[in-house]
Structure 1
Amino acid sequence: MTHTVILVVLDGLNYTVARHAMGHLQAYVGAGRAALYQLTCELPALSRPLYECILTGVPPIESGIVHNNIARLSNQRSVFHYARDSGLSTAAAAYHWVSELYNRSPFVIPRDRHTRAADLPIQNGYFYWSDHYPDSHLFADAESLRLAHAPDFMLVHPMNIDDAGHKHGLDTAQYRNSARSADIILADYLQGWLDAGYQVLVTADHGMNNDRSHNGLLPEEREVPLFVLGDAFSLDPQATPRQTELCGTICELLGVAHDKPVCRDLLRLAS
């Protein structure tokens, strides 16, 4: 059976903060309707390399996207490529680096801010370029895309948690409250997505440290959450997903051919 999928990447969200600050998501876990797993992000713990890792299943050291200033198209195949090539529809409300990785590089604001192009991997997109672009606007952008295009796969990628971490650090009220705010905003949309039949994954690219940065091996920089919601997930507490398995697992949910690693323990066996 094939499914539609929404992937939410809450940029810069540390696992421990996600575990204690995301009350709405944790309500689903407590009700037995979701599961929370801890992932260890690949290295380096930087955004553009890990967008590439999440969406292609390829670690940065192999993809060549090894820091944030490498602005070029990916030379790997992403979820967007597999979905488009299988005749599915794709969408993203995301930071402009995602557009540069999979659609066109460099990002040209008047051309790429609003994307409608059936031939591109990300066919329908709203892309932003300021880290303080409000999460409330970003989620509204995503919902607008969903309602207008009913994408089979959609990426939702807000930045305010990461922005708060860079301004204030991990162990601060501002960082924790930014996570709480994202959880509250997500609460406006999550049940509607599930009611529409979407399988939902909520994760992060990397965490944050008290130096207001991330790039190294500290647990607070590398440990990130993965919430999964939807009837296609096993909710198996013994599952041990890896960040490199997210692309292939999403492709399995979409029912598209791919050659990526998969965490099969995350998925409910077909009857």
Structure 2
Amino acid sequence: MKPASRFEIVAARLWNVLNEGKSFHPVFVLGTFLLAHLTELAEVGFWGRALPALALAAPLVGLFVLYDFPLRLRWALWAYLAAFAVLFWFVDLPVAALALGLYLFFTVFFWGTLYYHLRTGAPWTNFLRFWRLVLENPDSTSGNFLEQVPKALLALFVLEYLVAEPLGAGRAAAVLGFTAAIGVASHLVHRRFFDWKPAYPEGPTREVNRGEPLARRVIVVVIDGCRLDRFREAKKPYIERMMRRGAVYETVETVYPARTVVCFSSMLTGVPPERHGITSNLVLRLGLKVESVFDALRRAGKSGRLVGIAHLIDAFGDDVASVTSVAHNDEIDRNLIAAAKRELDEKDPDLLVLQLLAVDQNGHVRGTYYPEYVERIEITDRLVEDFMRWCEERGYLEDAAVILMADHGQGRGIGAHGHLSEGERFVPFAMWGSGVREGVVVREPRSILDLAPTICYLLGVEPPSGSSGRVLGEALLR
């Protein structure tokens, strides 16, 4: 059990530049363009054409950073690409081949095979499955073939069109006019067809427990990336026994985009991403714009700890007890649980939030529609049981409430999550223990934003300032 090193924290941030789609796009386009002209880079004449071309293509690249084109909107990107080919009568097949080759090498071999082998112990043959996962991936990362490839090809074709011959005013005006048309079309497409963002709770959290706490301690176990439908399929005797002894919420929705740091930030602040400021796993401004549940606990003289991997530090800073994510997938959750035990023994926090990662990683590496994914959920059940027995033996479950949930689900492809396809949207959610009613099943829609105010209600403290989540009162003895 090693904490994430300073090198790993920085490396994780750098990796997210290539992992998150918004940052990957300009890096990939520029890199491919320079590789396509590698033999010309020392020529002054080339830069005389290339620099104006890069400046004229920048607005188009910026549009593709601004607009995600998630899920059902991806058809627009292919329409833009076809429109450019027809209107400009220009397609650069060698550059297209280079771009596709580089993209597939990066996603399928470097990322899907080498990276995952070194980090999680994935087999060296993982590329035999991973290429199919990339092609059907619907999320907001660089692994989304149907979004990233047309974006890259269109930007590269524009660049090649501009450097193919001396740049004149007519060619420049044509490209800028085409870019403006794409900007208008993109705005209209998103305004008309982008209609699947969740409806978040509005207004401040109204219910506050100013009386006696319902629980001495709250332990939250987050099974990262756990699909609700696959969770229901899995054989998980311990978790199911505990669910019968407590309350189960059947329709708890995650946030958009459904990325891990985004979701944890909403779960532990009670506010949507637009307000807490974390809108992808690539965090350009470290820290949250609002209070977290950890701040709320500190105000009340209580304490909380989040045990997880390095990228959660970007949002929660010193409230995270980090564990290195460079571990075989059979070991990562055991390492996280060992760190959680250490936190309980050494710091005795009033709130412990434990991220379990193996299910999420299994979905990313091997896909969610294969038996390994359900098997990993079943392994997680046994690990949770062992952890809870340890907590009970040490007295940490005395007057404690336990919450088990996921931050997001996963869709098709490489454990896709981000754009809220089927499988990503709804998450498992159950509570049991001190202050929790027994045998409750709630089917009405709820949000992961409701976690923070519910924790605070159980512990008898004010919710984070700005929280708009609702206390899950149906589950509580009050």
Letter in 1 for 2:299: D
Q: Cα offset for 1:148?
A: 2.2
Aligned counterpart for 1:95 among listed residues 306, 309, 328: 309
Letter in 2 for 1:238: V
Query: Counterpart of 2:363?
Result: 165
User: Per residue, is there more helix in 1 or in 2?
Assistant: 2
Range moving further from structure 2, 160-169 or 82-91: 82-91
- Structure 1 residues 161 and 237: alpha-carbon distance in aligned structure 2, compared to 1, 3 A threshold: same
Q: Cα offset for 1:231?
A: 2.9
Query: Counterpart of 2:22?
Result: none
User: Superposed, which structure 2 residues align to 1:70-85 within 5 Å?
Assistant: 70-71=283-284, 72-85=286-299
Aligned counterpart for 1:238 among listed residues 442, 463, 466: 442
Distance in 1 (CA, whole Å) between partners of 2:355 and 2:473 is 25
Consecutive unaligned residues of structure 2, counting only runs of 5 or more, are 1-211
Residue 40 (str. 1) matches residue 253 (str. 2)? yes
Query: Counterpart of 1:156?
Result: 354
Range moving further from structure 2, 234-243 or 44-53: 234-243
Give yes or no for contact 2:243–2:431 (8 Å, CA) kept in 1.
no
Q: How many residues align?
A: 251
Query: Counterpart of 2:274?
Result: 61
Letter in 1 for 2:418: N
Query: Counterpart of 1:18?
Result: 231
Query: Counterpart of 1:183?
Result: 381
Give yes or no for contact 2:278–2:315 (8 Å, CA) kept in 1.
no
Distance in 2 (CA, whole Å) between partners of 1:217 and 1:91 is 29
Find the residue that maps to 2:265 and give its secondary structure.
Answer: helix
Letter in 2 for 1:100: D
Distance in 2 (CA, whole Å) between partners of 1:14 and 1:237 is 19
Query: Counterpart of 1:106?
Result: none
Query: Counterpart of 1:222?
Result: 425
Give yes or no for contact 1:94–1:157 (8 Å, CA) kept in 2.
yes
Distance in 2 (CA, whole Å) between partners of 1:196 and 1:141 is 20
User: Normalized against structure 1, the TM-score is what?
Assistant: 0.85
- Structure 1 residues 78 and 96: alpha-carbon distance in aligned structure 2, compared to 1, 3 A threshold: same
User: Per residue, is there more strand in 1 or in 2?
Assistant: 1
| Aligned structure 1 segments of 4 or more residues deviating by more than 4 angstroms | none
Distance in 1 (CA, whole Å) between partners of 2:406 and 2:289 is 22
Give yes or no for contact 2:266–2:448 (8 Å, CA) kept in 1.
yes
Letter in 2 for 1:217: L
Distance in 2 (CA, whole Å) between partners of 1:269 and 1:200 is 14
User: Superposed, which structure 2 residues align to 1:247-262 within 5 Å?
Assistant: 247-258=452-463, 259=465, 260=467, 261-262=469-470
Q: Cα offset for 1:34?
A: 4.8
Distance in 2 (CA, whole Å) between partners of 1:26 and 1:125 is 29
Q: Deviations over 1:59-116 (max 9, x none)?
A: 113322111112411111111111122111222221222222122xxxxxxxxxxxxx
- Structure 1 residues 137 and 60: alpha-carbon distance in aligned structure 2, compared to 1, 3 A threshold: same
Letter in 2 for 1:268: L
Distance in 2 (CA, whole Å) between partners of 1:92 and 1:249 is 17
Give yes or no for contact 1:46–1:67 (8 Å, CA) kept in 2.
yes
Give yes or no for contact 2:218–2:352 (8 Å, CA) kept in 1.
yes
Distance in 2 (CA, whole Å) between partners of 1:14 and 1:266 is 24
Distance in 2 (CA, whole Å) between partners of 1:256 and 1:15 is 31
Based on CA coordinates, which of the two structures has the bigger radius of gyration?
2
Distance in 1 (CA, whole Å) between partners of 2:343 and 2:474 is 27
User: Normalized against structure 2, the TM-score is what?
Assistant: 0.49
Find the residue that maps to 1:215 and give its secondary structure.
Answer: coil
Q: Cα offset for 1:175?
A: 1.2
Larger relative contact order (CA 8 Å, sep ≥ 6): 1
- Structure 1 residues 245 and 36: alpha-carbon distance in aligned structure 2, compared to 1, 3 A threshold: closer
Q: Cα offset for 1:36?
A: 4.8
Distance in 2 (CA, whole Å) between partners of 1:23 and 1:17 is 15
- Structure 1 residues 80 and 207: alpha-carbon distance in aligned structure 2, compared to 1, 3 A threshold: same
Q: Cα offset for 1:35?
A: 2.9
Find the residue that maps to 1:189 and give its secondary structure.
Answer: helix
Percent identical residues:
24
Distance in 2 (CA, whole Å) between partners of 1:151 and 1:53 is 21
Residue 198 (str. 1) matches residue 400 (str. 2)? yes
User: Superposed, which structure 2 residues align to 1:116-127 within 5 Å?
Assistant: 122=319, 125-127=321-323
Find the residue that maps to 2:323 and give its secondary structure.
Answer: strand
Distance in 2 (CA, whole Å) between partners of 1:266 and 1:149 is 31
Residue 5 (str. 1) matches residue 5 (str. 2)? no
Find the residue that maps to 1:143 and give its secondary structure.
Answer: helix
Query: Counterpart of 2:471?
Result: 263
Q: Cα offset for 1:153?
A: 0.6
Distance in 1 (CA, whole Å) between partners of 2:225 and 2:295 is 25
Distance in 2 (CA, whole Å) between partners of 1:166 and 1:93 is 21
Range moving further from structure 2, 190-199 or 241-250: 190-199
Query: Counterpart of 2:242?
Result: 28
Distance in 2 (CA, whole Å) between partners of 1:52 and 1:23 is 30
Find the residue that maps to 1:196 and give its secondary structure.
Answer: coil
- Structure 1 residues 92 and 62: alpha-carbon distance in aligned structure 2, compared to 1, 3 A threshold: closer
Query: Counterpart of 2:411?
Result: 209
